[in-house]
Structure 1
């Protein structure tokens, strides 16, 4: 990571530079591939009052640039407040990246194929296709007699005389239902 510290209208001391560098090193914990950080400290004097303005510009790979500006009467306080805000922004961005993963379509297709392969490998629930006997339309009474005559069948799918597909099924109470 490139670090650039600039003082405008202000003489930077080694203690201030060291304080800023140690604060910037704390930003590495978010693993966001920070390319460069530029810190500009500007001394202002308005109406006889001294103040300091600190600006952090953080450039990240493949992401937007984060710019944080902070003003205070004390230069160390301004740096600390700006670093706290930088930590907050980078933590939110890190949480967003780690928790809200976007999936590319090819990765989604590969995951779907893996699920299908796992389902096929699992032999607990197996679906066996069967052909329906829909060759001729049946009366509802005929379908009822067929269902009563075969105790192993739970339902019959058939076409009625009007051409509608119907389902006749056994209910738990021993009666029959029709869809």
Structure 2
């Protein structure tokens, strides 16, 4: 798994890098087939002179790319909400993969009962 953390208008300190890596452990724990992760942290200066911290992530798994972004006044809060959103998407994707492989088995008993009922 490749992890890229970059900052726009922001220097990525070792503390921020370690914080993001620790938060991404939760994603790896739930789904370990991750190919590539790209995290972009930005600081936007708005006209109201309110600094907005933005965190966005592109996560590639086999067959799908997930994109999530989060805005907040605090960079750490933006990273927290970003990881929460991404975790929900990863869990949903994992559930779809698991449900898809068992869909044929769920239908098998219904067709067997219908075939035996029509035969008698």
TM range (shorter): 0.7 to 0.9
Q: Post-superposition shift, 1:20?
A: 0.3
The 5 Å alignment of 1:102-117 reads: none
Larger Rg belongs to? 1
**Is residue 2:54 matched to residue 1:58?**
no
Counterpart-to-counterpart distance in 1, 2:92 and 2:55: 22
Once the two structures are superposed, residues 15-60 of structure 1 have per-residue CA deviations (whole angstroms, 9 ceiling, x without a partner) of 1110101111211123351101000001011121111111110011
Matched with 1:90 is 90
Counterpart-to-counterpart distance in 2, 1:97 and 1:57: 19
Query: Could you list the runs of 5+ residues in structure 1 that have no partner in the other structure?
Result: 105-110, 116-179
Counterpart mapping for 1:1-179 below 5 A: 1-46=1-46, 47-61=48-62, 63-101=63-101
Provide the rounded CA distance (Å) in 2 between the counterparts of 1:24 and 1:52: 19
Q: Aligned residue for 2:116?
A: none
Deviations 1:112-137 (A, max 9, x none): xxx9xxxxxxxxxxxxxxxxxxxxxx
1:101 Cα deviation (Å)? 1.3
TM-score (norm 1): 0.55
- Matched residue SS, 1:94: helix
Query: Is the contact made by 1:32 and 1:94 (CA closer than 8 Å) also made in structure 2?
Result: no
Normalized per residue, the structure richer in helix is 2
Equivalent position SS for 2:64: coil
In structure 1, what is the Cα distance between the partners aligned to 2:31 and 2:80? 21
Q: Distance in 2 between matches of 1:94 and 1:77?
A: 26
In 1, the alpha carbon distance for the partners of 2:77 and 2:30 equals 23
Aligned residue-pair number: 107
Give structure 2 stretches of 5+ with no counterpart.
113-120
Higher RCO (CA < 8 A, seq sep 6+): 2
